[in-house]
Structure 1
Amino acid sequence: MGTAERRLAPEDGAATHSTVRQRQAQYRTLWVEEPAKRYRMPDPVRTAAVRSVIIIAVTLLLAMVAFFCTMAESWLAFPMVISSVVSTVVATWSAVDVLVTRQVWNQRYGVVSEPSSTARALRRERRAARRQERAAEREQERIRRRGGQAGQLTHP
């Protein structure tokens, strides 16, 4: 066994791992994973978008067939033109459906409530005012239960 063969077939396992690591270090990776800049679309929105893309693709296909049938003066031209007009209406509806589905999803699930410090302070003030009102009502109720008359806070 020559010296070149000994380098390719080391006797211990540690040397094998180090040569494999050295060879891997020489190769560049095919891609570098980067974090997504935008989150993935919610399922209902993605479903509506896929449906819309398929409908729009079929609409374009129908329009192209209608155009070629018209150019060839085929009997199929009139039904294809009618179907492409109807398909255009459906494609428009499907595109609007994506926008509506996205808006509905955002309104239901997409809002993260983080009130500003101003809103928090206003809410705190309202809560304190309500507490004072309830305390005043309880005091009035206690006075009424004791049998006190209007304006009379102590017994005679």
Structure 2
Amino acid sequence: MGTAERREAPEESVAGRSTARRGVEAPDRGIPAPGRAGEFAGEQQQDHRPLWVEEPARRHPLPDPVRTAAVRAVLIIAVTLIQAMVAFLCTLAGSWLAFPMVISGVASTVVATWAVVDVWVTRQVWSQRYGVVSEPSSTARALRRERRARRREERAALSEQERIRRRGGAGQLSHL
């Protein structure tokens, strides 16, 4: 039962709506209930919506090396946070394990910082190697455009010479 139908019949209780719905289809599935296939098969479902709607990504996905470094950094940070929590609880409990956990937590913090810097450096390196500036004011784009124009002119000149050569010089005013 759609929202519009619920608005039209506000006096109907929630229990009444759910039992009325269960008679036609299985709950939460949109599948005809057994024994009622004839009633539902001929009807067109008016409120049919897909489970999800594909939306275009706002940003491009991370390149594989950057994603790998980011996952590694997240795992290291998670382990560091767990170590810090265990060190804190061991300190509260007065356990002998508190000191080794604090030392390993400090070391793990250094490693986690290194992992985050690794993500940043990997991203910068990837951008420098594979990133293409596609702005109209880009120097690289202007150079490519000039090279393409030059190649096009060269191909046109070669094809014109080839065409003249194939004709055997016909169409020329003098055969000197």
- Scaled to the shorter chain, the TM-score interval is 0.5 to 0.7
Query: Which one has the bigger helix percentage?
Result: 1
1:8 corresponds to which of 15, 27, 38:
38
Q: Does 1:107 align with 2:128?
A: yes
Larger radius of gyration: 1
Structure 1 counterpart of 2:132, which letter? V
Deviation at 1:115, TM superposition (A): 5.6
Offset at residue 117 of structure 1 (A): 8.3
Given residue 123 of structure 2, which amino acid in structure 1 is its aligned partner? R
Q: Which runs of 5+ in 1 are unaligned?
A: 10-15, 125-156
Once the two structures are TM-superposed, the CA of residue 30 in structure 1 deviates from its matched residue by 2.2
TM superposition score normalised by structure 2? 0.54
Match of 2:116 in 1: 95
State the alpha-carbon separation in 2 of the partners of residues 80 and 117 from structure 1: 53
Correspondence for 2:89 among 68, 71, 86: 68
Describe the SS at the equivalent of 1:112.
Answer: coil
Q: Distance in 1 between matches of 2:138 and 2:125?
A: 28
Runs of 4+ in 1 over 4 A off after TM superposition: 117-121
Which 5+ residue runs of structure 2 have no aligned equivalent? 1-34, 147-176
Paired residues for 1:47-62 under 5 Å: 47-62=68-83
Name the CA distance, whole Å, in 2 between partners of 1:35 and 1:116: 27
Give RMSD over aligned pairs: 3.0
TM-score by length of 1: 0.60
Counterpart secondary structure, 1:75: coil
2:57 counterpart of 1:33 = no
Question: Identity percentage over the alignment?
Answer: 70
Higher RCO by CA contacts (8 Å cutoff, separation 6 or greater)? 1
